[in-house]
Structure 1
Amino acid sequence: MSWPIIQQSLPMFAKGFELTLWLSFIGILGSIIVGIVVSMVRLFKIPVLHQLASIYVEVSRNTPLLIQLFFLYYAFPVIGIKLGAELSGIIGLIFLGGSYMAEGFSGGFNGVPKSQVESGKAIGLSRFQLARFVIFPQGFSKSVPALAANIIFLIKETSIFTVIAIPELTNTALDLIGMYYRSNEYLFVLVVAYAIILIPLSVILTYLEKRVRYGTFGN
């Protein structure tokens, strides 16, 4: 293990670190939005959209992100749609993450007591009002454990972006290993970089889960 070599590689890893965080943030934010919309469509069983949402969830959850990225980056240009590597990565992450988020939110939203939903209907609340004032506030807190697990999962999935040459952390490590043949040093930095992202995030999300579990969320 050569520390000077590790030190020389840090600027490149810093760029990969920043890009990984940025792609993860956009992908996770998009996934949460898609997940909420899809779960609401399925919850209220909106005609046509309900069936399309179910098909989307099944296709997304049952195909690997690797195949989705290949399709976006290499197959789309054949039909005249050219997407950059980073855009393909973000779309792929949202496509995959949205289905997982939808399943997580569906579990939380379905956990809202039926009596409260029926009471809302009885006083004349519209679907939008039911979602906003009754289902979403309670269901979201119930979805926090699944949300936390999916966030960690999606950040780790960014390592797949190396297949379309996005210079995130994993691709940076592989490039450096290919150029200088110093696997131990570069893999060590890679592990440390992911630990810096995931361990604090895991601690924060675990704390949030406990707050929800013991009924003190928001206090």
Structure 2
Amino acid sequence: MQLDVIERYLPLYGQAALVTLQISLLGIVLALAVGLVGALLREARVPVLSQLVAVYVEVARNTPLIVQLFFIYFGLPKAGVLLSATTSAVVGLAFLGGAYMTEAFRSGLESVGRIQWESATSLGMGRGQVLRNVVVPQAVSRCMPALVANTIFLVKETSVVSVVALPDLVFRAKELIGREYNTPEALVLLVAFYLLILLPISLLGRWLEGRVRHAEFGN
């Protein structure tokens, strides 16, 4: 292990980590939005729309992200839809993550008892108010462990975005190994930077889960 090589590689991995974080953040935020809307549509059982969401969930969860990225980045241009590498990666991550988030939110919504709806309605709340003020907050708190797990999963899935030539952590590691053959140093830094990204997310997730449990059952 050559420490001078690691020192020389650090700035390169730092730049690559920023790319990974950017894609992860944008993709996860969009995935959460897609997941919440999808779960609400499925629970509302809106004709056609709920079936379309169900099909989307099955397609997204049963195809690898790398295949989805190939379709978005290389396939869509054939239909006249041109997306940059960054946009393609974010859309792919949101497409895959949205399906997992949909199921997580749906399980949370299903865990909220019908009595909650009836009690809120008896107080004069409309359906939108019940969802916004009663049902969705409880659903989110109850599916928090699944949301955290999905977030970590999606960050790890960014390891395949290098197929669309994005200079993320994996792209940088492969480039340095192929160019300079310093495999141990490149791989150690790859693992270290993923740990630096994922461990804080994991710890934050545990803290949030604890806060949610305390808020719901602590009293």
Superposition TM-score, scaled by structure 1 size: 0.95
Gaps spanning 5+ residues in structure 1: where?
Answer: none
Gaps spanning 5+ residues in structure 2: where?
Answer: none
Distance 2:205 2:122 in 1: 37
- Deviation digits for residues 1-48 of structure 1, max 9, x if unmatched? 101111111111111011111110000100001111100111111222
Runs of at least 4 residues of structure 1 off by over 2 A? 118-127, 210-219
Alignment of 1:62-73 (within 5 A): 62-73=62-73
CA pair 23-113 structure 1, distance change in 2 beyond 3 A: same
* Matched residue, 1:195: 195
Please state whether the residue corresponding to 2:205 is helix, strand or coil: helix
Aligned-residue identity in percent:
45
More off after superposition, 86-95 vs 202-211 = 202-211
Alignment-mate amino acid for residue 86 of structure 1: T
* Matched residue, 1:146: 146
Alignment-mate amino acid for residue 199 of structure 2: I
Pairwise CA distance, 1:120: 2.9
Pairwise CA distance, 1:123: 4.5
- Is 1:24–2:3 an aligned residue pair? no
Alignment length (residue pairs): 219
Distance 1:21 1:197 in 2: 8
Contact 1:211 1:217 in 2 (8 A): no
Distance 1:29 1:196 in 2: 20
Distance 2:131 2:169 in 1: 39
Q: CA RMSD in A?
A: 1.7
More off after superposition, 42-51 vs 102-111 = 42-51
CA pair 124-207 structure 1, distance change in 2 beyond 3 A: same
Superposition TM-score, scaled by structure 2 size: 0.95
More off after superposition, 46-55 vs 64-73 = 46-55
* Matched residue, 1:212: 212
Contact 1:177 1:186 in 2 (8 A): yes
* Matched residue, 2:93: 93
Contact 1:39 1:105 in 2 (8 A): yes
* Matched residue, 2:52: 52
